Structure formats: structure tokens, C-alpha cells
């Protein structure tokens, strides 16, 4: 009984800590980090920085690592997940991280960023603070409808290619599906599509909070934000205080390191005994999260609360009617997508339930599922694990290599 009470107290303390940080993130000033260009330059890889302007005015920093071999094997775009940025791909360094491995293999590598993270805080005529209500009025739907196609068009024009390979981590898979469902003409601009831990269906999200509670919380927050206006949230990785805390909590031997790992495992899944993240735990802590819209967070809460996959629900028939011309938020039709997609997932990922991934595989016209063969593989392991090169990155590159001579692969449904 004592042990059960202690565990319950610790769980509540952890949830209160996470909630406190989320609320606090709306009121603390931030700094710019620019880890992506610094890390690439640190390892002496060639680097280009490009600014992509979306058709609705957002200015997105996009980074390019040109191929390192004389033979150019094609273009690969990597797209990050929710509250992340291009930094997420670059914490272990050459010989380990996917962008460097692709560049070494002769690919022209592009690292995309979405509106709202540290590389997407500019707009042609809106300021994220002075014009807060308008600047932050977006979800991942706009990322799929505007950001991703504008990034793709820019890359193809810059490189002279007609199509590219795509790797989307977590939300990076979701936005690609949104693009293919809402703008199907972009289907031909993908040679291959590979998703790692795609957060699409969320009915079986493994969190210690009932979906009904999340639904009620979303309704309360939605009513509040209707009055207050949408704004930035989950950006505390850009706080100086946060970075100092990461050094104190996550350095090798730090006495608070076990506490941080427990918080990490509560959110993303278990941390394997031999997966201590070595010297990069401080960098992981210091690079997550780097910003999102409060509306974007509400949209994710909606997916979990309802178990469906629809556009943003404004909470009333009148508002939905004004926005969509119908009283209910439109559903996404995943089965309309004709592209073949490779999906990598784990049985122990709390943020991307295996049952939901298998449902996505059944709903797609053409999909190939790859279950990671590890007893404890969490959401962050898809980019940070010491085993990621062998278990994930090399298979991804092998799939891309199969397209090198223009060969199209079709998967059995």
C-alpha cells in the first residue's frame, strides 16, 4: 500500500510538473539557438541556409547539406516532429545521424522546418508577438497545406529535380498525409515516402489520462483561447533557464538525471537499461521543445479525445459552418492516398500507439510496416538511439537506394 501511494504521488507530481511547464511557457522570454547550422559546421560538412516563403507569408529557414560524392543520387527532405525542429536530426554526429549518412552516400539532403518553431518565427507582415492572434492561428493542417508543398517546390526548383525522397518523423509523417489528401497533385513529386513513428491516429495513445478528461480540458482551453487568442506554447527549450537546468539535470553523473529520465519515459516511452544516451542527454533536453501554436496543441488533443482524424473542430456548428461550409469538421480520407509509404514503429512507443500505426497501414492503399525489434524503444529513440543507425537509418537509406535508377516499388497492402 505504501509503495502504491508513493507511485501515485510521484505520477501526480510528474503530471503537475509537465502542466506547470506548459503554462509557464506562455509567459517566459526566449532566445535563438541555431543548433542546426552550428552542428553541421562543427563537423565540417558543407552547409547552405535557404529561406522559404509560404504562400500565406511565413518565412521558414531550410538547411541543405549538398552531396559529398561526385555522383548525385537524388534529393532527400527530412521533416521533424511536433515541437521540434531540424535540430532533432543532428545530435549524435557523423557516422550516426541520418542527414550525415545520406550526404556521405551521395544524396542532396534538405532539413525542413515548420512555422512556429525557432526557425519559423518570421512572417512577411506579421509579428509573432505584436500580431500574436493572427500569427499563431494555425495547426499542423496549415503545415501540410502550405509549409510542406512550398518547401518541396522551392527545393525542386533549386535543384532542378522533378521529385524527391521524403522522411518524416512523428508529425512529419502527419503533415505529408495532409498534403497528399488535400493537394493530391503533389503525389508525383515524391519518389519515396518513409515515416518513423507517425502520430496520425491517436485512439490508443498511452497516457495516464482518460480521453474524456482530455476532451473536457480541450473544451475549456478552446473557450479560453477563443477569448484570449492563440499564441505560442511549448517553447521552453529556448529559455536560458531551461538550458542551465538541462546541464544540471542531464550531465553524466548529475543527481537529477534519473528524475529527468523518468519524465522523459513517462512522455515518450521506456528508456532501455543500455540506452543511457551517453553524452547527448543534455543536448536532447536542451533542444526539446522549441515551440508550437496553442491551436496546434488543441488539434492533437482533439485527435486523442475523439479517436478520429479530422480537421480542427471549432466547437460549434456555426463556427464550423463558417470555416468549412458544414457543421462538422471534415474528416481526412487517408484511403485516397495512392503513394506507397514505408512506416517504422515500436510496440513500446507511448506517443505513437502500435495499434494506431497498424490501423493506418490498413487504411492506406499501399503501405509497408516495419516493427522495430527492441523491447524498449521509445518515441525519441527514432532519432536519438545509439542503435538508430543499424535499426532504422540504414534500412531507410536502403529503401531510398532502391529508387536510385527510377525503380518504383509497390508494397502489398
Residues tagged active-site:
170, 379
Q: Please give the grid coordinates belonging to residue 54.
A: 509560404
**Which residues are registered as beta bridge partners of 110?**
64, 77
Spatial distance between the Cα atoms of 226 and 219, rounded to a whole number of angstroms: 10
What b/e string do you get for 293-306 counting C-beta neighbours within 10 Å, with b at 16 or more? Answer: bbbbbbbbbbbbbb
- Residue 341 gets which letter from DSSP? E
Give the angle 69-75-77 at the CA atoms, nearest 5°: 125
Greatest CA separation for the chain: 67
Q: Which whole-number Å values give the CA distances from 82 to 6, 217, 379, in the listed order?
A: 32, 20, 12
- Residue 403 gets which letter from DSSP? T
Spatial distance between the Cα atoms of 221 and 264, rounded to a whole number of angstroms: 25
- In which element (H, E) is residue 158 found? helix 148-159
Beta strands in 55-163 (DSSP E): 58-65, 75-79, 108-111, 122-123
Map grid coordinates 503501405 to a residue. 367
| DSSP β-ladder status, 232-233 and 292-293 | antiparallel
Q: Which whole-number Å values give the CA distances from 401 to 50, 181, 223, in the listed order?
A: 26, 26, 49
Q: Please give the grid coordinates belonging to residue 129.
A: 508577438
| DSSP letters for 155-215 | HHHHHT-S-EEEEEETHHHHHHHHHHHH-GGGGGGEEEEEEES-----TT---SS-HHHHH
**Which residues are registered as beta bridge partners of 370?**
344
The distance of Cα 245 from the centroid of its chain, to the nearest Å, equals 24
Amino acid at each position: 500500500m505504501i509503495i502504491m501511494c508513493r507511485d501515485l504521488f510521484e505520477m501526480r507530481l510528474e503530471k503537475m510538473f509537465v502542466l506547470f511547464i506548459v503554462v509557464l511557457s506562455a509567459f517566459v522570454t526566449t532566445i535563438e539557438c541555431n543548433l542546426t547550422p552550428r552542428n553541421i559546421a562543427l563537423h565540417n560538412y558543407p552547409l547552405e541556409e535557404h529561406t522559404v516563403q509560404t504562400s500565406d507569408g511565413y518565412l521558414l529557414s531550410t538547411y541543405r547539406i549538398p552531396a559529398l560524392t561526385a555522383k548525385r543520387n537524388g534529393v532527400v527532405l527530412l521533416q521533424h516532429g511536433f515541437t521540434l525542429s531540424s535540430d532533432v536530426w543532428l545530435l549524435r554526429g557523423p557516422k550516426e545521424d541520418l542527414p550525415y549518412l545520406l550526404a556521405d552516400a551521395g544524396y542532396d539532403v534538405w532539413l525542413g522546418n515548420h512555422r512556429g518553431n525557432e526557425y519559423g518565427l518570421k512572417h512577411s507582415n506579421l509579428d509573432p508577438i505584436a500580431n500574436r492572434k493572427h500569427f499563431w492561428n494555425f495547426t499542423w493542417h496549415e503545415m501540410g497545406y502550405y509549409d510542406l508543398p512550398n518547401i518541396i517546390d522551392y527545393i525542386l526548383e533549386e535543384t532542378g529535380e522533378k521529385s524527391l525522397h521524403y522522411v518524416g518523423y512523428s508529425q512529419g509523417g502527419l503533415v505529408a498525409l495532409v498534403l497528399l489528401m488535400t493537394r493530391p497533385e503533389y503525389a508525383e513529386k515524391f519518389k519515396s515516402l518513409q515515416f518513423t513513428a507517425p502520430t496520425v491516429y491517436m485512439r490508443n495513445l498511452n497516457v495516464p489520462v482518460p480521453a474524456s478528461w482530455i476532451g473536457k480540458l480541450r473544451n475549456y482551453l478552446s473557450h479560453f483561447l477563443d477569448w484570449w487568442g492563440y499564441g505560442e506554447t511549448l517553447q521552453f527549450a529556448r529559455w536560458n533557464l531551461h538550458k542551465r537546468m538541462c546541464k544540471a539535470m542531464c550531465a553524466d553523473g548529475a543527481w537529477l538525471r534519473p528524475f529527468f529520465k523518468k519524465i522523459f519515459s513517462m512522455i515518450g516511452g521506456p528508456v532501455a537499461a543500455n540506452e543511457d544516451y551517453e553524452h547527448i542527454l543534455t543536448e536532447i533536453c536542451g533542444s526539446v521543445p522549441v515551440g508550437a501554436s496553442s491551436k496546434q496543441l488543441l488539434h492533437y488533443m482533439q485527435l486523442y479525445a475523439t479517436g478520429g482524424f479530422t480537421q480542427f473542430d471549432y466547437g460549434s456548428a456555426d463556427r464550423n459552418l463558417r470555416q468549412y461550409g458544414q457543421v462538422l469538421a471534415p474528416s481526412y480520407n487517408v484511403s485516397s492516398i495512392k503513394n506507397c509509404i514505408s512506416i517504422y514503429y515500436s510496440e513500446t512507443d507511448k506517443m505513437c500507439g502500435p495499434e494506431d500505426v497498424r490501423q493506418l497501414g490498413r487504411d492506406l492503399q499501399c503501405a509497408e510496416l516495419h516493427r522495430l525489434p527492441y523491447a524498449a524503444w521509445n518515441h525519441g529513440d527514432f532519432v536519438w538511439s545509439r542503435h538508430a543507425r543499424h535499426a532504422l537509418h540504414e534500412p531507410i537509406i536502403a529503401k531510398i537506394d532502391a529508387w536510385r535508377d527510377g525503380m518504383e516499388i509497390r508494397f502489398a497492402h
